[in-house]
């Protein structure tokens, strides 16, 4: 049954957030998307998000978060920083405070729009050790936001316990597998769809897709 309340999706135009956008459209009557411009090295990410929102008929807001690049230089915003992960350290793609800030600003937007529900594509199963993708962080922040604004937010994380193959499966169940595969941007090198095939994001995406398609095709014989 469709929830008649409003929802806001934290939206980057990538595989995970686009799957979450389709999930939100299936579960909520009124959905809007918010994208954050934090100086990411590939401006195409924002354009892709705008295009997808337009395709799906979703109101879309882009918020300026360039201060994040000033505070926390990282491989997603600085071309001179290599994408790598040394043993015992977080990947250079980790942006300190990103999900904390994104969800906080999304909550302000949601309250101003009369929405209680916030959807984000964070995941603890296939993540790279990012502390702000953990379920305990999301639950803690949900309580903090409710107290900070005296408002009953509900943060939804449809992908929290799914691996990448299961995320592709969810997209398929939502009737969006081909759309997500062909129209999203996950690649750290800014190449749409299947991407460069070499960066960590592309490898994870491809491995999950191959696993899901193998399971799907094997099960249909």
Q: Tell me: is residue 15 an annotated ligand-binding position.
A: yes
Do the Cβ atoms of 119 and 158 come closer than 8 Å?
A: yes
Start-to-end Cα distance in the chain: 33
- Look at residues 47, 201, 48, 64 and name the one whose alpha carbon lies nearest to residue 130: 201
User: Structural domains in the chain?
Assistant: 3-184 (3.40.50.620)
196 annotated binding-site participant: yes
Residues 97/104, Cβ–Cβ less than 8 Å: no
> Is 153 annotated as a binding-site member?
no
157 marked among binding-site residues = no
Q: Phi, psi at residue 62, to the nearest 5°?
A: -110, 120
- pLDDT digit string, tens, across residues 127-169: 667 889 999 999 999 999 999 999 999 999 999 999 999 999 9
Task: Please indicate whether residue 198 or residue 73 has the higher confidence score (pLDDT).
Answer: 198
Q: Pick from 101, 33, 109: which is nearest to 67 by CA?
A: 101
Q: 3-state DSSP call for residue 92?
A: coil
Q: pLDDT, tens digit, for every residue of 54-64?
A: 999 999 999 99
- 11 annotated as a binding-site residue: yes
What is the separation of C-alpha 48 from the centre of its chain, rounded to a whole number of angstroms?
13
- Residue 21 labelled as part of a binding site: yes
CA atoms within 13 A on the CB side of 61: 18
20 is in an annotated binding site: yes
Q: Is 133 annotated as a binding residue?
A: no
pLDDT at residue 76, as a whole number: 61
Evaluate if pTM is beyond 0.85: yes
Task: Return all residues near 191 (Cβ < 8 A) that are at least 6 apart.
Answer: 185
Strand-pairing partners, residue 32, are 8, 59
Q: Is 13 annotated as a binding residue?
A: yes
């Amino acid at each position: 049954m469709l929830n008649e309340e409003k929802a806001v999706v934290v939206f980057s135009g990538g595989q995970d957030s686009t799957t979450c956008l389709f999930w939100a459209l299936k579960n909520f009557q009124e959905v809007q998307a918010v994208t954050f411009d934090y100086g990411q090295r590939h401006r195409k990410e924002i354009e892709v998000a705008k295009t997808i929102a337009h395709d799906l008929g979703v109101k879309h807001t882009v918020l300026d978060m360039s201060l994040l690049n000033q505070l926390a230089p990282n491989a997603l915003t600085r071309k001179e920083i290599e994408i790598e992960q040394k043993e015992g350290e977080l990947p250079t793609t980790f942006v300190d405070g990103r999900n904390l800030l994104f969800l906080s600003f999304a909550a302000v937007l949601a309250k101003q729009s009369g929405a209680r529900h916030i959807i984000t594509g964070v995941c603890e199963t296939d993540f790279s050790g990012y502390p702000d993708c953990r379920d305990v962080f999301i639950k803690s922040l949900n309580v903090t936001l409710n107290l900070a604004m005296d408002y009953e937010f509900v943060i939804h994380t449809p992908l929290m316990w799914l691996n990448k193959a299961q995320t592709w499966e969810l997209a398929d169940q939502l009737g969006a597998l081909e759309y997500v595969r062909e129209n999203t941007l996950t690649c750290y090198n800014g190449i749409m769809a299947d991407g460069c095939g070499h960066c960590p994001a592309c490898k994870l995406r491809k491995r999950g897709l191959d696993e899901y398609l193998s399971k799907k095709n094997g099960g249909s014989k």
